[in-house]
Amino acid sequence: MNNPDFEAELVGLKMASIEEVPEPVRSRMDITYQMLDSSTQNHSLARKKRRWLHRMIITTGSVAVAGLLFIVLGFFSPAMAETLKQIPFVKSVFQLAGDLGLRNASERGLIHSVDQSVTHQGVTLGVSELMYDGSRLSLVLSRESPDTSGATFMETWRGIIGSVVNNIDFYVNGELVNTAWGLSPGGDESPNSVIVTTFEEVQVPDQFEFKMVVRLAELKQDFTFTIPVTKNTADSIVLTPAEVKSDDPIHMSIKRLELSQTTTLLVVEFKNEPEEVKGDTIRRMREKYKIHGLFNINFELIDEQGRSPFYIGASLYGHEGLTTYTTTFEPFDSMPRTLIVKPFIWREEQKEYISELEFIIPVK
C-alpha cells in the first residue's frame, strides 16, 4: 500500500446512521481488506466515528498470533466446553493475543472476568474478560456457530451480507456514546474470538453500567450485553502542557497525555484562526498535511532513551473549527523522564516529520 493509514481509514469509513453501504464503498472495502491481509496477517482494525467529519480509522498495532479463549467451562454450549477440556492450558486472550498493555493488565490482575453469553438463531456470542483503565476499554468477544466454513470470527465479521455490515453500539448508564471502536483478532489458537477496544477519545465515569449491542448482519439480529464496569489501573501520570504550536492557519496543542502501565494516551487538538472558528479545520489545513484531501498527520512518541511505544490505534473527529486527534500506544516499560511528540505524515511509505509542530514535554 502507498499509505497504510489512508488505506486503513477506508476500512472503517461508514456512516453510523446508515446501514446500507453503496456499491463503490463496498468494493473499495473488499479491496482494502485484501491489501491488509497481503501486507500482514496480524494487523487488523475496523473503527468508526459518528461525527459530521469523516471517521479516521487506523490499523491496530501488532498483536501476537497466539490466543486462547478464557471462559469457564460450560459458559457456552456443552460442545464448546468439551473442546476446551482438550486444551491443556486455558489462558487469557489478553495475555496471549493482546498488546503489551493488555498483557500487563492481565499479569497485574487488572482484568475483570465476565461470564455473559447471548444466543440467537443457533449463534452464541459471549464476553469473557474486560479491561478499563480510564484511557480505553477492551473486551474479548467470542462467537460459537454451527458454521462449518472454517472462517475465523474476524473473517466473518468483515463479511458484508448484501449491502449490510456488522456493527457495535456502546452505552454508558443508558446513554448511547458517540465513540470510535476497533477490532483485533484473538490469535491462531482462539480463532473464534476478537478483542474489541473503545472509549479511547471520550471521557466516561470511573464506575458505570456498560451496555454493548452487537449487530450481526447475517442474522439481522442484535446481541445485547450489560456489564458493570469499574476503572481498574495502577498509578498513572496525566500531563496537560499549556504550550501551543502554530503553522498558519493551524494551532496545535496537547490536550492530554496519559501514561500508565496499561496504556499511553495522546490527545491532540487543532484549531483554526479565531475568525475562522466556524470553518472546517481539515479543509483549511495545508495540503502537505493531507492526502487525497483527507487528514494525514500521525504521531510518534520518543523518550529520552530513544524508546518509542508501539502504536495501537487512533481516531479523529471535529466540530466548528476544532479537531481532536486521539492516538493510543502501548505502555512504556518504565516511566520516561521526557517525551517528544513528533507529528509526521506519510510520503510514499516514508515518514516525513513536521518539526514546526514538535513538542518536548517533561514527565518527571
Domain membership flag for residue 50: no
Domain membership flag for residue 345: yes
DSSP 331: P
d(CA 270, CA 240): 15
Are residues 71 and 196 both part of a single domain? Answer: yes
Are residues 136 and 177 both part of a single domain? Answer: yes
Are residues 120 and 157 both part of a single domain? Answer: yes
pLDDT of residue 351: 87
DSSP 16: T
The SS3 call for residue 363 is coil
Domain membership flag for residue 96: yes
Domain membership flag for residue 303: yes
Are residues 211 and 122 both part of a single domain? Answer: yes
Q: How many domains does the structure of the chain reveal?
A: 2
Please say which residue of 214, 230, 246 terminates a domain.
Answer: 230
The SS3 call for residue 30 is helix
H or E element in which residue 84 lies: helix 78-85
Range of the domain at 271: 237-362
Are residues 178 and 283 both part of a single domain? Answer: no
d(CA 309, CA 302): 8
Residues 6+ apart with CB under 8 A from 18: none
Please say which residue of 168, 196, 230 terminates a domain.
Answer: 230
pLDDT of residue 287: 64
d(CA 277, CA 153): 44
CB-CB contact of 63 with 184 (8 Å): yes
d(CA 6, CA 244): 27
H or E element in which residue 104 lies: helix 100-107
d(CA 116, CA 129): 10
Are residues 76 and 212 both part of a single domain? Answer: yes
Domain membership flag for residue 340: yes
Are residues 266 and 328 both part of a single domain? Answer: yes
Are residues 279 and 210 both part of a single domain? Answer: no
φ and ψ at 28, to 5 degrees?
-65, -35
Of 341, 364, 362, 345, give the one whose Cα is nearest residue 353. Answer: 345
**DSSP assignment of 31-69, as one string?**
HHHHHHHHH-SS--------SSSPPP--PPPP--S----
Domain membership flag for residue 40: no
Are residues 310 and 336 both part of a single domain? Answer: yes
List, in sequence order, every residue forming a beta bridge with 126; answer none if it has no partner: 117, 142
Are residues 156 and 302 both part of a single domain? Answer: no
Residues 6+ apart with CB under 8 A from 344: 297, 298, 299, 300, 351, 352, 353, 354
Of 77, 43, 46, give the one whose Cα is nearest residue 63. Answer: 43
Are residues 81 and 156 both part of a single domain? Answer: yes
10-residue mean pLDDT series, the chain (364 residues): 45 40 45 40 42 35 30 39 39 87 90 93 95 93 86 86 82 93 89 93 90 94 96 84 82 92 92 54 60 76 95 79 87 93 85 89 88
The model's pTM is 0.69
Of 132, 266, 261, give the one whose Cα is nearest residue 199. Answer: 132
Domain membership flag for residue 4: no
A 10 A CB-CB count for 140 gives: 28
Q: What is the CATH number of the domain that holds 279?
A: 2.60.40
Are residues 153 and 281 both part of a single domain? Answer: no
φ and ψ at 81, to 5 degrees?
-60, -40
pLDDT of residue 76: 41
Domain membership flag for residue 35: no
Please say which residue of 206, 230, 254 terminates a domain.
Answer: 230
